[in-house]
């Protein structure tokens, strides 16, 4: 698994500084073959490109090196669900489980990762409901 390089931002929290990829578990977006400016799914790999911004772990969770990769991947997967690229009804649980597993892999205590998992299972669905206008809308300023 790649290491994550990012920079802290004054307004959105974090920005990916160099390409980052992670193998997705079975049943999560495999063979989708989707590509955009910042996110790509090829086979069972999710690639997150430099310039992608995310806000770290949500709610009362305090960001640390033990959840940075997990929060990045989880935020990207939830964004893909909001865009209608991934089906939130069938793939949200796998995304939440991946978050938990990545936290443990990066050194978080299992019980702490389990509590975070339970919190996103309870309150995360509203952040995955499709908003196709996110994919379609292009805005212009003078």
pLDDT, residue 141, reads 62
Please, which pLDDT band fits residue 33 given cuts at 50, 70 and 90? confident
- For residue range 39-86, what is the model confidence (pLDDT) as tens digits? 999 888 999 999 999 988 876 678 889 999 999 999 999 889 888 888
- For residue range 107-116, what is the model confidence (pLDDT) as tens digits? 999 999 999 8
- The mean predicted confidence, pLDDT, of the chain is 84
Question: Looking at the DSSP assignment, which residues form a beta bridge with residue 41?
Answer: 34, 46
In order of 62, 68, 84, 122, the CA distances from 106 in angstroms are 15, 9, 29, 23
The CA distance from 71 to 51, in Å, is 16
pLDDT, residue 13, reads 84
pLDDT, residue 104, reads 97
pLDDT, residue 40, reads 92
The CA distance from 57 to 63, in Å, is 6
**pTM of this prediction?**
0.82
């Amino acid at each position: 698994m790649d290491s994550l390089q990012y920079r802290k931002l004054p307004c959105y929290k974090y920005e990916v500084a160099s390409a980052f990829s992670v193998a997705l578990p079975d049943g999560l977006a495999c063979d989708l073959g989707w590509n955009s400016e910042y996110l790509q799914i090829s086979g069972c790999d999710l690639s997150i490109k430099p310039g992608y911004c995310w806000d770290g772990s949500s709610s009362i969770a305090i960001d640390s090196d033990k959840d940075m990769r997990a929060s990045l991947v989880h935020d990207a997967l939830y964004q893909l669900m909001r865009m209608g690229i991934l089906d939130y009804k069938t793939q949200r649980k796998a995304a939440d489980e991946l978050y938990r597993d990545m936290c443990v892999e990066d050194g978080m205590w299992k019980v702490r990762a389990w509590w975070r998992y339970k919190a996103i299972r309870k309150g995360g669905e509203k952040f995955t409901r499709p908003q196709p206008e996110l994919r379609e809308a292009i805005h212009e300023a003078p």
